[in-house]
Chain A
């Protein structure tokens, strides 16, 4: 039981850190760059692209930070899971439509992943997040802090 708790802690930190890096990298560059990337998926109307870019990047960063620290553990896990599902849907339609996308645009200029590679990564993340959602409490989380309760 204890080992499982520690495994969940490591997974929580990993998934949280991944979303933090992803959101942070998008926000410390001109947001137009991420807008270009979103435009390629051809699912968001032009007028909504700037808002979508900001909303995704900030949600990734804040929900990722919450998850990393274990604050609002369940809602933040559910939120990153919803984001992940959204990304998978966008990627799947891009792969299906054979859109000329070389780089998913997920991590700014930090890592270059193709839509197929990202889809596999997101599928693994999805399983991890479902696992995290199934856990009632997470070790060393702010939710468990006696001072904040």
Chain B
């Protein structure tokens, strides 16, 4: 290999790295996920937060939701959960379920509806026409059924859910559940004990700071 040939290789690598650095500098790096005062469970003033990109028809999401509830009980003052919709296309009933939860949110019962959807996932998720079940759940929670039905049938919530999904796409969310701890640390642990241990370590670290 000649000296010129070697230098050409070095030059290519340097220019490639430079182009990445320059693009990042010009565009500015978008921030990782930030907290929002929306669909928050737990103490709104808690310093630590987990953004949960979730799909109501995803069985992993259902399990994770229970573990997150336990974590909230363990750290009532230090942790909050922020829910984001990420209905997967592989689950046809996910989008209507997300819309239904938003309709329930209009009547102040998002989290209750969230829980009822996960608890009854095996009933409505395989259904091609889950709307009747969604209305029944609304009735169980004492929601105004007519209002709920009108909201669900008009699909007024679809855009909002889609916005969540697009936001997730920007943050490279590619499946569910995606959990992002304190806006920067993604959690891949799906065993309850591992997830709890990660949360505990992060909270302890925050207290030491």
Contact = CB atoms under 8 A, between A and B. Distances in A.
A71 B88 CA distance: 42
A109 interface: yes
Nearest to A69: B12
Interface stretch (B72-80, B101-109, B178-186): B178-186
Interface string B22-40: 0110010111100000000
A66 B180 CA distance: 35
A149 B175 contact: no
B169 interface: yes
A28 B172 contact: no
Contacts of A24: 19-20, 23
A148 B13 contact: no
A148 B4 CA distance: 5
Interface residues of A, number: 38
A37 B185 CA distance: 13
Interface string A55-84: 000000110011001011000000000000
A40 B175 contact: yes
Contact of A61 (B20, B29, B186, B188): B20
A6 B174 CA distance: 38
5 cross-chain pairs, A with B, having the tightest CB-CB distances, nearest first = A33-B172, A39-B188, A101-B175, A103-B174, A105-B174
